[in-house]
A and B are shown apart, each in its own frame.
Chain A
């Protein structure tokens, strides 16, 4: 039988696909919409019940016949279902696409049920959520087997088997305990893939007998039972043979399949091997497979409104109608003060011509970049950013010249010209700016957020290479010598190599031959030595510093082991080259020598302390500085830029810190004083560490998480409440809460400490809230200032860890700072 043929087949009835289908039906072309599930928009359907769906970016106009405004999830779904009915959309549910490829005349599609279809054009809009991995075993499709848990409250007194030892599996299992008998099957030998907080709760729950688990266990088959209390039995392969577990329900959380392999099987090309890379697309969203268009989340546009607009545009493009993309109006606004006499495309072309790095992007990518960036027009003398600021944006120079000031004197150390770029160190290290940049003439700059740059670097190979080269050069320049000649500098830079290390990996080992000097670019490392048969951490070295100079100077083997505390990137300069430079540059020689002597002294002191405490036993062995460093690094201090600590030997548990935070931050405290690990009377409470590379920023659809110049990581009011950041933060410090104004307290209430009654009916959208370090409050963090006894303190980990590794140990850790 000849397969059915359509002009356009749209795959995926999410917002993007629906929008395309509605537009196609308006245009009276032959089309078909395919949806894997039994109802449209499964991603939105899976939001929590009652979630407010937000319509970001606010400025972007909606131009599709598919209506969409910010509303409750239920309302949005209803509206869309009504639109589907009104337009009589030709949709086929339960139609999951398995294969797609280009035949000579048209595109051929195969569904999981074997149906074959053909089309002249295919619009792929399957999003990035849908492809949950399923159990590929007999019985994996029984109705008692589910791949998601929407409402844990819905199950009572059941025996439930949860398959999967990742975070989502564990979280589901924990949510079901108490009312149900829960057993987790984990393929691995432990739960080391889980977040610490989940792991702790899990072990706790098991201790309490609230749940149980089987490790190194693989499910084999699921069978229905004809009789008895339990409707199904799952057979699982354990290390002690096959185990049979009768149960009511199986919840399998096996993770989602990345969309890339699927797309590759369709023949879609990607620019880089990076798994996060986005498919190659033309300005009309067409992939390298002729006739195959990709839109929405799958194409890298994470918000609903963007997807809906693209659904409209893609149909117009297919029909050959020229449309101006919906964001053109926004671009025009961006260019309001700059070249406003020319058309948007013209200006984009001009930008592309003036900045070689941007010439590497295709038009779609360039538009996206400019949309997410600011156009700055500084005058001569204006400062773009200052040394030691925390800011994570990246700058392209379209016109003008700028000075770079690296050291204290007011003499420019370098000049930047039109076509160049700067700010790449912040992209890499996430630490403070290493120099001040000041406009020399009036300039035109494009300021791009780190997230956007990273997305591009992941997709554009040549851009990454170029940025790496420049970053190495800057690192060498700042790290070992402003005094080097241009030739030496270039020579060093071209021969240096960029190395990446996972947390815990060694850069080099005690006793090794010295292979060179390591400039830590991002992350941080610990330096340790074997003392009295155990590994003792001596120092902590943060990004922006270097390690490995000791052996270079002395010529002896490596004095200690250097290990990445978190994911780390370093520039390695070969020993031979370094020695050569040292020989020829007395200035560098004396700097390194001085450091060498200083290190030697410190190490001697530290070593004595460790061994003294070891043998005397009078000082609690636990509290040696090296243990304290290890503890703090475990708590994420290695990647933090500011941590809240509570001195439990002073804290009177009055909760003023939390109260003060809640009072000044819309009623929701952003720190949890009494949870968090304690070491030597120091608690690291559950509160934001303001990470160097905030994990929370990774996947925020409206890009609502930012970093302020002093390092504060904060969430602005474009948050859509999707909860991604909450999941991504490894320290569990983000909560979803309704923010509302706090009632004023009267004088009496304040004096007598009476809590004003807060109105109970607080509804409103739940958004992500976290510590913003009180960046908008003069005088700084209220938690610290509200503590009557001075038990709460905020510290900068670089200072903290060097205190900790200082010879006087714990006393120095907290003693020497005046709050």
Chain B
């Protein structure tokens, strides 16, 4: 199923622009060999540098633009441009540098740019694959709904466990209180809890049912099915949180490094003009 997404937006309009920009830059780089050699201070370097600086500012403006809800136009178009032109920008900057790297503020700015760009690519990748998986995992449910159902299952399970032998009661109580769902970023990103108490409980319950009295059997079976249900609910909730955090966490690199990049870029320009 295809409707226009951020890549094929307006029939790849921004992709085409990006390709043209990249080709022009390469052509200029190959055709005009400045007498001073390729580096930022050549006239071609200036052109590429100025262009890149403007583009970086424009890229950073995206964050503002996407929250100006009253503005005109579609954010989708902006993001499509952001992605393609951001990629083109990387090429421009690289050519601008003339491959002169060193331990200085200029290369720092370049490095920061790469972090921003690479995190951007990763973000893009998450945008491409996770939404579909999220829908498969959740169907029409939402996270709040799942958590509520888990809480309900807990109540019921604890209630039934009260009339069970101690070992069963303890296992259930432990599963209910010690299972964690997405506590901490790491666990969220991983999407599972090592030695999940609920999974353990389900496993152990299978073995514990053997020495029950006949009247305990019926509630036991019920308890078991509740715990199995709990396990799958927990798993789905964790999955959902995992997808959410993966869709979002890369922005913790993308945005702060954008700020850092802006600072470094200013330093870089100031350094070039005043201390060169």
Contacts and interface: CB of A to CB of B under 8 A. Distances in A.
A819 B76 contact: yes
Interface in A575-631: none
Interface in B68-84: 68-70, 72-76, 78-79
B121 interface: no
* Nearest 9 A/B pairs, CB to CB: A790-B76, A814-B3, A660-B69, A648-B135, A751-B63, A750-B67, A779-B72, A674-B142, A750-B64
B259 to A, nearest CB: 8
Interface stretch (B5-13, B88-96, B202-210): B5-13
A262 interface: no
B190 interface: no
B213 interface: no
Interface residues on A, range: 35 or more
A817 B130 contact: no
B135 A817 contact: no
Interface string A671-692: 0001111101101000000000
A785 B74 contact: yes
B60 interface: yes
Contacts of A652: 126-127, 130-131, 247
Interface residues of B, number: 42
Interface centre among B10, B76, B78, B132 (most CB of A within 10 A): B76
B72 A663 contact: no
A62 interface: no
Given A785-B75, A789-B76, A650 B131 contact: yes
Nearest to B262: A751
A678 B136 CA distance: 11
B2 A811 contact: yes
A676 B64 CA distance: 30
Q: Is the interface of B mostly helix, strand, loop or mixed?
A: helix
A649 B131 contact: yes
B69 A664 contact: yes
Nearest to B69: A660
Contacts of B9: 790
Contacts of A819: 4, 74, 76
B33 interface: no
B108 interface: no
Contacts of A674: 142
A649 B255 contact: no
Contacts of A753: 63, 67, 251, 255
B75 A787 contact: yes
Given A745-B67, A782-B69, A818-B4, A788 B76 contact: yes
Contacts of B247: 652-654
A678 B152 contact: no
A777 B149 CA distance: 40
Contacts of A782: 69-70
Contacts, number: 118
A678 B139 contact: yes
B103 interface: no
B1 A680 contact: yes
Interface centre among B6, B67, B79, B132 (most CB of A within 10 A): B67
Given A678-B139, A753-B255, A818-B10, 7 more contacts: A651-B131, A653-B134, A659-B69, A751-B64, A752-B259, A788-B78, A790-B3
A290 B243 CA distance: 74
A747 interface: yes
Contacts of B127: 652, 789
A815 interface: yes
A209 B132 contact: no
Interface in B125-157: 126-127, 130-132, 134-135, 139-140, 142, 149, 152, 156
B154 to A, nearest CB: 11
B1 A791 contact: no
A649 B1 contact: yes
Contact of A648 (B64, B75, B131): B131
Contacts of A788: 6, 66, 75-76, 78-79
Contacts of A649: 1, 131-132, 135
Contacts of A777: 70
B88 to A, nearest CB: 19
Contacts of B156: 209
A793 interface: yes
A467 interface: no
B68 to A, nearest CB: 7
B244 interface: yes
Given A782-B69, A793-B3, A678 B74 contact: no
A710 to B, nearest CB: 18
A752 B73 CA distance: 21
A656 B74 contact: no
A470 interface: no
Interface string B242-276: 01100100010001000100000000000000000
